[in-house]
Amino acid sequence: MTAAAPLESTELVDQAPALDRFRRDVLAALSRRPQRELPTQYLYDARGSELFDRICELPEYYPTRTELGIMERDAAAMAEAIGPGALVIEYGSGSSVKTRRLLERLREPAGCVLVDISREHLLRSAEELAAAFPHVEVLPVCADFTQPFEIPTPRAAVRRRAVYFPGSTIGNFLPDQATRLLGQMSEQAGPGGGLLIGIDLRKDPAVLEAAYNDAQGVTAEFDLNLLRRINRELGADFDLDAFEHRAIYDQELGRIEMHLVSRQAQVVTLAGRRFPLAEGETIRTEYSHKYSIDGFQRLAAAVGFRGRQVWTDPEPLFAVCYLDRA
């Protein structure tokens, strides 16, 4: 990187969903039949983000350490593919551990936009990243990245935009949703821009189910925290002891599904409405689709991305792909 004076910290751009939207989304989700399904993005309040960081350190949860290993080995090649003067736009920034590996290798980055729905977690990550890279302008944006959001303009000249989406989070979306999200990324990258993205690869179902049903119960706590958040912020009366976490792999659809299972017949109330649940009935909280490399590249090609390079671990369990705008 070219030496320059340290940059002053940039204030948060707050585009987080309003509470009334959270309430509407939850009411709609609980009304959906035959399968109730809560929106995945609401798993990530401050506590949920902390719990997910713990999940990433669990022995059963291979994606984070595998992707980090790929980044440590191949970040220089990724930076070369992105090129100099890039504005990096990271979706779902989390703790930004992998972002550090990329910024260490990038030439003269124009800035780094961190986008996350968890305000507290985002601010902490942005402060830590700015301290580690004082000559890179860090621009935190609190937003639901599944919806259009405004990208702040850095002070430095931008030669190209590179969307960075680590962690296999693209797998949390149904194929049509993933296509829409990739389309948004394609528009944001623009001509000459690119996308660096992590994808979890298809593998032995036993490995997958162990990763989402860890022995310490951290994933269960993460899942149940969504109900705790709905109680706290929306005034619902979920009894957390009346639910248990379960993750299953659907081989035909190639995806993990996380569910909260009702241990008994019960009635949950929210905003004056009653929602009866039978014993054994489930509320789905997350998908995690697993891809083949060719299958993912075909999905991305539909919105104008062209596969350029792929990096994997030896097994392979995981892949990091760089695609550019055709």
Residue 1 predicted with pLDDT over 80: no
Q: Is residue 264 part of a domain?
A: no
Residue 154 lies in a domain: yes
- The answer to whether residue 167 sits within a structural domain is yes
In the sheet with 318-325, reading across from the earlier edge strand, the strands are: 13-15, 138-143, 111-116, 86-91, 160-165, 194-200, 318-325, 305-312
CATH of the domain at 298: 3.40.50.150
Read off the pLDDT band of 9 (50, 70, 90).
low
Determine, yes or no, domain membership for 18. Answer: no
Q: For position 40, what pLDDT does the model report?
A: 93
275 residue type, one letter: F
Give the tens place of pLDDT for each residue, 151-187: 999 999 999 999 999 999 999 999 999 999 999 999 9
Cα first-last separation, the chain: 28
pLDDT of residue 5: 46
pLDDT in tens, 61-97: 999 999 999 999 999 999 999 999 999 999 987 778 8
Peptide bond just before 84 cis, omega within 30 deg:
no
CB 112 within 8 A of CB 79: no
pLDDT value at residue 13: 84
* Rounded Cα gap, residues 117 and 51, in angstroms: 15
pLDDT for the residue numbered 4: 42
Residues spanned by the domain of 106: 58-203+290-325
Res 18: pLDDT:
81
Split into its structural domains, the chain has a count of 1
What are the pLDDT digits (tens) for 211-260?
999 999 999 999 999 999 999 999 999 999 999 999 999 999 999 999 99
Q: Residue 84: inside a domain, yes or no?
A: yes
Q: Is residue 171 part of a domain?
A: yes
For residue 96, CA distances in Å to 114, 196, 289 come to 8, 14, 22
- At residue 293, does pLDDT exceed 50? yes
- Residue 141 inside a domain? The answer is yes
Q: What is the pLDDT of residue 3?
A: 40
Residue 71 lies in a domain: yes
pLDDT at 2 over 90: no
